[in-house]
Structure 1
Amino acid sequence: MAEFVFVSGRLCLDLAGTQLWRRSLRTELLNSPEDLRLWVRQADLLDDPGTMDARALDRVCRLREAVYTLVRAWSPGNPPDTGARDALAEVNEAARLPLPKHQLDETGRLTRTGSTDEILGAIARDAVDLLSSDQFPRMRECANADCTRLFVDLSRSGARRWCGMAECGNRNKAASYRKRKKQQAVAETGT
């Protein structure tokens, strides 16, 4: 079973993170309708997404790319993106879709039900909420030059650099440690 990473602080950015290394090795994590079903479950969107099909996967991936394009285009310091207008239309259209239905059973347990429309509606509304909120200026891209994962920096200092320590943060720390050790060894031998 695939395990997805939810380190972005927002549902829409976690979905955008299912396409990794966009500048280099472009790694797709949603390769099949079953992958999408697992992501929906792990994201706690729906308790049982049921059978997903290729059309559902295509619709979610289209919204994912629209969210990524729009967030990057609206981020300070990024050049204007000619696809931002189409991305905005895609996000707004999906934001008009219904949300998952939340109900309590007799024991007080929450149940979440819906279909592809409700999945898209929840993700798009999260994107609309992020883009229009005071959290948006705290949106960052991972400091790992190869990583393109986006996240909201909710740290007190506002100095978070990595999408997650388990992935990029620890890799960077280990690389920095090896570099310091190598420099130290060179300094000690004088060569």
Structure 2
Amino acid sequence: MQSYSQTDRPALLIGDDLALDFLNTRYGTGSAHRECLVDDASVVAWLKQAAVLTDDFRGAPPGLLSLALVLRESARALIQAAKAKEHADTRTINHVLEMGRDLHELAWRGSSKTYHLQSRRRDNGAASLLYPVAQAIVDLLVSTSLDLVKQCEAHDCTLMFHDHTKSHRRRWCSMALCGNRMKVAAFRERKKLRE
């Protein structure tokens, strides 16, 4: 089992999908793997970084880290299973969807003198804060071609991404992190073979 060091470095938002960015909160290459979710406050910080929470949100509910880690591993298992056309346990994600779902209410909009459906977060509990992430995981599983959900081709990288390129031939989590590094390594190998 690979060990992950804890870090206060910000997560890498390169997955082009909230669900994949959430999976990528544990990342790294080689022996330098990083864990971005180390306490309740770090989960809140990531939710802010991912624009799930506003910057003015304060506090962190107890149990947020624990639920976030379980949800992340559940999401990883669900995505891997779906890519393999297999079933995985849905209890964790269904729990977050049920306990954290937004409240909807009919409200009057005075400026336009019309009614509208207003949504708001149920509360500031762990499931409510993670609900948008759970919804993104569901959207990924039911509305996305999982052939376009890829892992970086660098042999020592764990990052995943949603390939939105026109040709669907994206290979790297990012050119800056792995693409250039792998291309330079391949160039050096070719040069060594010619010598």
1:99 CA displacement? 4.2
Distance 1:150-1:50 versus aligned 2 partners, 3 A rule: same
Q: Which residue of 1 aligns with 2:38?
A: 31
Say if 2:63 is the partner of 1:55. Answer: yes
1:179 CA displacement? 1.7
Gaps of 5+ in 1: 102-111, 187-191
Which amino acid is 2:136 matched to? D
What TM-score comes out, normalization by structure 2 length?
Answer: 0.75
1:117 CA displacement? 2.5
What is the CA RMSD across the aligned residues, in angstroms? 2.9
1:16 CA displacement? 0.6
Identify which of 49, 52, 55 aligns with 1:45.
Answer: 52
Contact 1:151 1:163 in 2 (8 A): yes
Distance 1:162 1:145 in 2: 10
3-state SS of 2:63 partner? helix
Say if 2:98 is the partner of 1:91. Answer: no
Which amino acid is 1:73 matched to? A
Give aligned-pair identity as a percent: 30
Distance 1:23-1:61 versus aligned 2 partners, 3 A rule: farther
Q: Which residue of 2 aligns with 1:75?
A: 83
1:122 CA displacement? 0.5
Contact 2:151 2:158 in 1 (8 A): yes
Contact 1:23 1:148 in 2 (8 A): no
Identify which of 20, 23, 32 aligns with 1:16.
Answer: 23
3-state SS of 1:132 partner? helix
Distance 1:65-1:23 versus aligned 2 partners, 3 A rule: farther
Residue deviations 1:38-92, cap 9 Å, x none? 2111100111342225611111111011101110111148xx5xxx533x22112
3-state SS of 1:95 partner? helix
Which amino acid is 2:184 matched to? A
Identify which of 163, 181, 187 aligns with 1:171.
Answer: 181
Higher helix share: 1
What TM-score comes out, normalization by structure 1 length?
Answer: 0.76
Worse-superposed segment, 20-29 or 131-140:
20-29
1:155 CA displacement? 0.5
Worse-superposed segment, 66-75 or 140-149:
140-149
Worse-superposed segment, 27-36 or 57-66:
27-36
Distance 2:93 2:168 in 1: 27
1:167 CA displacement? 1.2
Distance 1:40 1:91 in 2: 17
Identify which of 128, 139, 159 aligns with 2:149.
Answer: 139
Q: What is the aligned residue count?
A: 170
Which amino acid is 2:179 matched to? G
Identify which of 164, 169, 193 aligns with 1:183.
Answer: 193
Distance 1:69-1:24 versus aligned 2 partners, 3 A rule: farther
Worse-superposed segment, 28-37 or 164-173:
28-37
1:119 CA displacement? 2.4
Which amino acid is 2:130 matched to? L
Identify which of 66, 74, 88 aligns with 2:74.
Answer: 66
